[in-house]
Amino acid sequence: MACENAPDVLEQASKYELFNASFHWLIIDKNYNSIVDGNKMPAGSSRLQTPIPWGTVKNGTVLGQTLRSMHPGGNDTVPDDQWSTVESGRTDTNANATGDTFELLATMNVSINAEITVAKPTDASYRGFTLYDLWNPGFISGGKLKIEPLGRYGPTEGLVIARRATTVVRRRNMGGLKLKIMTVVTQKPHQPLELYLTTPQNTHHDSVHRYNYGLMSMLKDFYNFTFVNRRTKSWGYLRNGKFDGMIGALARREVDLGGSPMFFRTERHRVVSYTTRTFIERPCFIFRHPPRNEAVKNPFLLPFQIIVWYLMVACGLILALALCLSFFVEDTGLSEIPHLSSGRCTSFFILLFGYLMYQYYSASIVGTLLMEQPKSIKTLRNLIDSRLTLGIEDIPYSRDYFVRTTDADSLELHRTRIEYYEPRTGRNVSHFLPAADGLQLVRAGGYAFHVAISAAYRIIRLTFGEREICELSEIDMFPVWSQWMVAIVQKNSPYRDVITYGLRRLNEAGLMQRQRHVWQEPKPKCVRQIAPTDLIVGLDAVVSAFVLLVGGAALSICVLVVEVVCRRIERHRRGCRRELEQNRFVMMTKQRYSAAVTVRNCFTLNSRERLRKKNPKCS
């Protein structure tokens, strides 16, 4: 500081915000002032002789002093009982002790992560120095310079710095600093903003933002700072080359912290700084899966595979042949009860085989009718090809997704099922709906709605029935990696490490998980109970049985007709045969009668011949 332009260099560093973690400053103040509380410090002293109230200095005034005595040995961690806090009303007395360097830095833009070390000589020979660590919780926000003893340097003992906590831990007390925070609020609160953000009522409204604001409120108590709340309706999207919403306010440095988490975006990284992940927001399509009629269209063929049916027929034929062979060996023809042991054994295995197959068959049919129906809509492509009507929650990041994505299925879904031209009405159709309206359409059936589960699960639990909950299916449209949400601050903000450390401490302590339980409804459980409606078998399940019955009846009628025709043909044949036999009998009778007549005539003729011979007059 003995250099002529040293104050000007510091002024330029303050102007360009160089007092941060990126630069380490060592300022040697050779202005020897050994006055401490009006007493001279002995020359050559290499350590602090008495507790010196170092503290907050602004405009040459000591406002609140915090002392940490240095351990004489210098090699061990300073015990906690050596910390002390001294309240003093002195103003100008310690100004000579601290010198003009502290007063000058108190008027500069020093940040909370600044690495500034000021070395003050402890003797007139400038061979010993006392080191001080300087930082400010937020100069722009009205913070006051903090001065803390760091260590000492002596010609014999060298540099002595006690082991201590990290920079973020040591600078936890921000002295009630007021930081401006902006939170996204998409719903219209009917109460004061802070009360709306902290009261766990209607948790499906702005649940993500209220969850993250709760974490930031815990950090407020952890670091001893306060909020100046502001609200907006948008996270922040590019409009004419500039960001609006929360990101725009951070980029313009209108606020210090972002109260709402947001998704990773490359274009956002250029204007804001990310801290750590706080939430996983999972928007997805939720719908009641339509029943697959074709899955149970023919349950009577489902129990066995084709190869099993073939094996059953083959085994049945083999057993039937074996039984026929057994009957043939008995030389008695087919009878109701086989008499040989081989025939009885064959009959027993036929009955056992049929009984086992019947048990498997009937049990499988009953299980098929009662089990949960298989789901065919499993991917986004299946959803596009389905007959379901599609809708999407009217929220900014959903609209922004279709602007940025290159996924072909997502673009086709938006072009053909979400926002499209309807030729029948001659109007452009849009299926962006509020969460509550879309989920009511899902409950009615035949509708798939893309909504964040943080808002959907509570509405589902309150309005859906058990059967409707069990029929729900979910399909993701966003990639898994894009569902992570992080807290944000200004670009290159000195509070980035502060917020990151605090959020990770909350996660380690379980407070982040507790916040999730408060603001995020768990997925409603499907409590499947067998209801009377579950045991009702529809026509689609037994239609094949009726088809089989009708087919059997038709076959029976056909067989009957064939039998009747065959019977008539047979009767006709028998009638013709009987008539032929009768004719043959008549012919034979006539032939016999003719033969008898002939014989009689011949006998008569013979008699006449004999008579004529005897009496020629008879001729």
pLDDT tens for each residue of 534-578: 556 666 667 777 787 888 889 889 988 998 898 888 888 877 777
| Bridge partner residues of 133 (DSSP) | 117, 148
> Which range among 56-65, 262-271, 434-443, 448-457 shows the weakest confidence by mean pLDDT?
56-65
Distance of alpha carbon 499 from alpha carbon 455, whole angstroms: 26
Per the DSSP assignment, residues forming a β-bridge with 86 are 65
Percent of the chain clearing pLDDT 70 (strictly above): 78
CB 29 within 8 A of CB 101: yes
Q: Is the dihedral of CA 401, 406, 409, 414 positive or negative?
A: positive
Q: What is the CA radius of gyration of the chain?
A: 51
Check the CA dihedral 443-446-450-453 and report its sign: positive
pLDDT of residue 89 exceeding 50: no
Residue 252 structure tokens? 């313009």
State the first-to-last Cα distance of the chain, in angstroms, to the nearest integer: 193
pLDDT digits (tens, 9 = 90+) for 22-49: 999 999 887 644 333 333 333 333 323 2
| Residue 521 CA neighbour count, 13 Å, CB half | 22
Report the alpha-carbon distance of residue 75 to residue 352 in Å, rounded.
90
CB contact set of 242 (below 8 Å; sequence gap of 6+): 248, 251
Mean pLDDT on 177-189: 93
3 vs 213, higher pLDDT: 213
What span, in angstroms and rounded, lies between the C-alpha atoms of 469 and 456? 12
Q: How far apart are CA 204 and CA 191, in angstroms?
A: 16
Using 50, 70 and 90 to split pLDDT, how confident is the model at 66? very low
Name which of 214-218, 378-382, 402-406, 530-534 the model is least confident about: 530-534
Over residues 430-473, the pLDDT tens digits come to: 899 999 999 999 999 999 999 999 889 999 999 999 889 988 99
How far is 469 from 479, CA to CA, in rounded Å? Answer: 25
Q: How many helices (H) and strands (E) does the chain have?
A: 18, 25
Q: Please give the average per-residue pLDDT across 512-537, as a whole number.
A: 79
Helix (H), strand (E) at residue 85: strand 83-86
Both structure tokens of 39:
């007493």
User: Does pLDDT of 67 surpass 80?
Assistant: no
Work out whether strand 146-154 and strand 158-161 pair parallel, antiparallel, or are unpaired: antiparallel
Among candidates 290, 306, 378, 366, which has minimal Cα distance to 530?
366
Q: Which CATH architecture has domain 282-292+373-480?
A: 3-Layer(aba) Sandwich (3.40)
* pTM reported for the whole predicted model: 0.69
| pLDDT score of 352 | 82
How many residues are listed for the chain in this entry?
A: 619
Provide the pLDDT for residue 358. Answer: 80
- Give 198-219 pLDDT, tens digit per residue: 999 999 899 999 999 999 999 9
Q: Are 215 and 257 in contact (CB under 8 A)?
A: no
The confidence score (pLDDT) of residue 86 equals 29
Least confident of 167-171, 217-221, 301-305: 301-305
pLDDT for res 152: 92
d(CA 364, CA 366): 5
330 Cβ partners below 8 Å, 6+ apart? 338, 339, 340, 343
Q: Between 271 and 600, whose confidence is greater? A: 271
**Which residues contact residue 329 at a Cβ distance below 8 angstroms, ignoring those fewer than 6 apart?**
340, 342
Q: Beta strand pairing status for 272-280 and 238-239?
A: unpaired
Q: Return the CATH number of 177-281+483-523, one of 3.40.50.300, 3.80.30.20, 3.40.190.10, 3.30.1330.10.
A: 3.40.190.10
Residue ranges per domain, the chain?
1-31+95-171, 177-281+483-523, 282-292+373-480, 299-370
- Does 177-281+483-523 match 282-292+373-480 in CATH topology? yes
Q: What is the DSSP string of 406-452?
A: --HHHHHHIIIIIEEEETTTTEEEE-EE-HHHHHHHHHHSSEEEEEE
Residue 485 pLDDT level (bands cut at 50, 70, 90) = very high
Tokens encoding 269: 């990284």
Task: Say what the pLDDT of residue 608 is.
Answer: 63
CA dist 323 and 332 (Å) reads 13
The pLDDT, as a whole number, for residue 299 is: 63
